[in-house]
Structure 1
Amino acid sequence: MEHTASYYAATTNAHQPWPTLQESIQCDVCIIGAGFTGLSSALFLTEAGYDVVVLEAARVGFGASGRNGGQVVNSYSRDVDVIEQRYGKEIARLLGSMMFEGAEIIRDRIDRYAISCDYRPGGIFAALNGRQLQHLSEQQRRWQQYGNTDLTLLDERGIREQIATERYVGGLLDRRGGHLHPLNLALGEAEAIRRHGGRIYEHSPAVAVNYGTPHRVRTPAGEVSATFVLFAGNAYLPGTLEPRLSHKSMPCGSQIVTTEPLSRDLALTLLPNNYCVEDCNYLLDYFRLTADNRLLYGGGVVYGARDPADIAALIRPKLLRTFPQLRNVALSFSWSGNFLLTLSRMPQFGRLENNVYYMQGDSGHGVTSTHLSGKLIAEALRGDAERFDAFAGLPHLPFPGGRRFQVPLTALGAAWYALRDRLGV
């Protein structure tokens, strides 16, 4: 399988391909999946001196890591106030202390390895009504308590100076957020892994895992013997490979379009400071400018990871609701990608067997939280598992209705929250 026909795939940096595994090899750590979770983990581990093999069924960054909106958004899909209500003050303190770390790791990777991925600082959470703006004011206070002082609350005049639309009544600017070309970030991290002696194999899906001493991971034409195994496939991990990872999570599809290149003047009238934006709705819209002055716009969720027949027909009305001045602008790319949703909207970390780990289910906040998770698994393998276990101790709740009814029941719940968004309650 090759990359989907996205804007990102059409603008990748030149790179050397990785081979297909066709022999039996040994290593310290075998990682299944070459998305951000697997790549971040492999890079931290190779930097620490581990012999690492990464198996990828398709291409590096094939899944959500190479298809997402490219927004570097801090925190998790549930903010620290919800974490405290559900899990208590101590867990909130531990997870809160890490919620800006993923973005810092990304910036460090870009600088340390000179990764060309069009990084631009600054992101805005946009409020469509007074209730959402009040929530952002409370979010600013909470984030400041955890050390992020690079925040500015925007009133209606302030947000119109940042976004050329009348949709929003205010927003929160986070200068520690930002946006980038995610596939080029993934490819740059893979090159850094290669530089440290790590081995990546493309078109080498794991088809079976036999647990033992050592663990053995089979591919169609080869086998990896490893002391440690890490499942990092997220929404693209086959349910038959390790069924224990699939019944408490659900793949979901998200859709993105990009316009044709805009003139620089037009692009900068839309987003004068080149910040990325996501709104505060339950089923949110998000958008930003690309390096070549296209507007990239995404929104909505398809539960169960089905690809819509006409992505442009779904997203273009959302884009024009925000920017009606683009009604005569053509769309150049449209694509879909899957992310893994959990019922709690919190990442799922844990252990399956002795020296067998998994990390999955970032629920739409994967760009930053996957980079944090790579650091945490490296800490755990070195013997300091406190921060990994702060996530691993969270309950992994099954979706109501089991596998058969999880999609319709989740969609029903989402429709309820979407109605609340429209009513502003």
Structure 2
Amino acid sequence: MTMTPGSSSRGVLDGIVVADFSRVLAGPYATMLLADMGATVIKVESPTGDDTRAWQPPVRDDQATYFLSVNRNKHAIALDLKNDDDLATAHKLLAKADVFIENWKPGGLKKFGMDPAAVAQRYPHLVHASITGFGTKGGAHLPGYDLLAQAASGLMDITGEPDAAGQKAGVAIFDVVTGLHATVGILGALQERQHSGQGQHIAVNLMSSALSGLVNQTSAYVAGGVVPKRMGNDHPSLAPYGPFAAADQSLIIAVGNDGQFRRLAEALGVPELADDERYATNPARNAHREQLRTELEARLQHKTASVWVDQLRKVQIPCSEVFTIAQGVQFADDIGLEPVQPAGAEQVPTVKHPIDYSRSKITYDKAPPALNADEAAIRYWLNTPDDDSVRLLESNVSNYEKSTS
């Protein structure tokens, strides 16, 4: 572990330094999670910046909210790896870092001496995580866009109404899943390094993450020989499980077992449905799902969705209204999840880190940085001997200013 002495405990990854050469979403999402957990993350961008700085609208104070969503708690420097001095700076960073994460095209870093083989030889302590779209073999030439992974994995084919064309998810879901997989891999490699003293290379890709993230749907084919089909908002294995029309709008009912269905039937005033052979078991309900929908909606139409949600939750029936993003954030706040956390002195609103620790901290110390915002502090730190260095935070900016005054 590369320590940065002189700091108090901030999180479970306190003292870990991450050299983040990734861009767009999967890599930056992973490194933001690491930064939130206390790692010192140095975001290295090209002189033109991360692509997502220009992915707008929407914006906040002229900054793309896309970029803001995954770059909290990072320190930014712009380097042109084709420039010898900047390349030397990049290698200084790798020498002092614990983790190197990048999503360059396979082979793209070889000319800079930063490919997996060169890194393993020159920086054996380093945990090196590479993110690609479709791996480094037959799919190495394919660009790593989430939409392509959604199409190629089958997600689009199972998403949407049966009689319509397949649809993508409303977010770049496999970028996020791949970022999570990269984070898990990095944490595992750091744990193993404590025993061996050696780093290693981690490879993750959108396609493998997509097939893993499709869980029961890919298993249906791999283990059962069943090719899943589009079912709209229905579930292939559960009923009733999806949206059902109430008096004003749809509500979600998610029945996972026969006991829940019995309570649902009683709450709707039709307890006899739970004993009807068409609906008494989950396989039977699946076989008669459209008839069941008609029966349920005939009762649900007498009250609004919000009234039904209140009543059904009282008897522990899993259910929800269908919210907008704005309503979802408000709901999370109403139930005490504190979904919005201001980052840095600028108090930039960001979405809360998804993990809570009982003893360790999750931090929101630094707003997403402007391009090259921390160059002076980073260069100062890179040229300071380890035994004299301090944490690369705002304190390092002060040290730099003192040294040049």
**Do these two structures clear the TM 0.5 threshold for a shared fold by scoring above it?**
no
| Structure richer in helix, relative to its length | 2
| Structure richer in strand, relative to its length | 1
Larger Rg: 2
The structure showing larger relative contact order (alpha-carbon pairs under 8 Å, at least 6 residues apart) is 1
